[in-house]
Amino acid sequence: MIIMKSIYFDYAATAPVDREVVKAMMPYFSDRFGNPSSIHSFGQETITAIDAAREKIAKLLNCRFDEIIFTGSATEANNLAIIGLTKGLSEDQYDPIRANRGMLFHIISTEIEHESVLKPLKKLQKEGYEVTCLPVSKDGFIKISDLEKAIKNNTALISVIYASNEIGTIQPIKEIGKFLEKINVKRKIAGLNKIYFHTDAVQALQFLECRPSWLKVDLMTFSGHKIYAPKGIGCLFVRKGTPIRPIIFGGGQEFGLRSGTENVPYIIGLAKAVELVFKNRERTAAKMLKLRNKLLNNIIKNNKSARLNGSFDPPTSLGTSSRLPNNINIRFPGVSNETLLVSLDQSGMAISAGSACSARAFGASHVLTAIGLTEKQAKESIRITIGRNTTEAEIKEASEVISKTIKKLKSI
Ligand code: PLP
Has this prediction a pTM greater than 0.85?
yes
pLDDT for the residue numbered 314: 53
Count of residues in the chain: 412
Closest-lying ligand 1 atom to the alpha carbon of residue 355: 8
Three-state DSSP state, 130? strand
pLDDT for the residue numbered 382: 97
Mean pLDDT within 38-57: 98
Helix axis angle for 264-302 and 392-411, nearest 10°, is: 60
174-201, pLDDT tens digit by residue? 999 999 999 999 999 999 999 999 999 9
Inter-CA distances, 113 with 185, 313, 379, Å? 28, 21, 19
Ligand 1 centroid–CA 97 distance in Å is 41
Q: Which residues are catalytic?
A: 357
Name residues whose C-beta falls within 8 Å of residue 65's C-beta, 6 or more positions apart in sequence: 51, 54, 55, 58
Instruction: Supply the CATH classification number for the domain 19-275.
Output: 3.40.640.10
Q: What confidence tier does 272 reach under pLDDT thresholds 50, 70, 90?
A: very high
Provide long-range contacts, Cβ within 8 A and 24+ apart, for 92-95.
Answer: 92/243, 93/193
Q: Is the model's pLDDT at 145 over the cut of 50?
A: yes
Q: Is the model's pLDDT at 359 over the cut of 50?
A: no
Which has the closest alpha carbon to 77: 163, 196, 167, 201? Answer: 201
Show the DSSP H helices in 201-305 as ranges: 212-215, 264-302
Q: Evaluate: CB of 204 within 6 angstroms of ligand 1.
A: no
Mean pLDDT within 121-150: 95
Ligand 1 centroid–CA 77 distance in Å is 10
Q: What confidence tier does 411 reach under pLDDT thresholds 50, 70, 90?
A: confident
Q: Does domain 7-16+281-411 have CATH number 3.90.1150.10?
A: yes
Ligand 1 centroid–CA 222 distance in Å is 8
The CB density around residue 19, as the number of other CB atoms within 10 Å, is 9
So where are the chain's domains? 7-16+281-411, 19-275
Closest-lying ligand 1 atom to the alpha carbon of residue 113: 3
Name residues whose C-beta falls within 8 Å of residue 362's C-beta, 6 or more positions apart in sequence: 337, 338, 353, 379
Ligand 1 centroid–CA 115 distance in Å is 8
Name residues whose C-beta falls within 8 Å of residue 160's C-beta, 6 or more positions apart in sequence: 109, 110, 113, 142, 171, 173, 176, 197, 198, 199, 200
Q: Evaluate: CB of 79 within 6 angstroms of ligand 1.
A: no
Q: Is the model's pLDDT at 90 over the cut of 90?
A: no
pLDDT for the residue numbered 6: 83
The secondary structure of residue 16, as a DSSP letter, is P
Distance in angstroms (rounded) separating the CA atoms of residues 169 and 90? 33
pLDDT for the residue numbered 123: 96
Q: What confidence tier does 104 reach under pLDDT thresholds 50, 70, 90?
A: confident
Q: What confidence tier does 336 reach under pLDDT thresholds 50, 70, 90?
A: very high
Name residues whose C-beta falls within 8 Å of residue 128's C-beta, 6 or more positions apart in sequence: 104
Q: Evaluate: CB of 234 within 6 angstroms of ligand 1.
A: yes
287-328, pLDDT tens digit by residue? 999 999 999 999 999 999 999 999 976 544 444 468 999 999
Which helix (H) or strand (E) segment holds residue 28: the answer is helix 27-30
pLDDT for the residue numbered 362: 61
Mean pLDDT of all residues belonging to the chain: 92
Q: Evaluate: CB of 309 within 6 angstroms of ligand 1.
A: no
Q: Is the model's pLDDT at 94 over the cut of 60?
A: no
pLDDT for the residue numbered 312: 77
Q: Is the model's pLDDT at 395 over the cut of 70?
A: yes
245 touches 69 (CB < 8 A): no
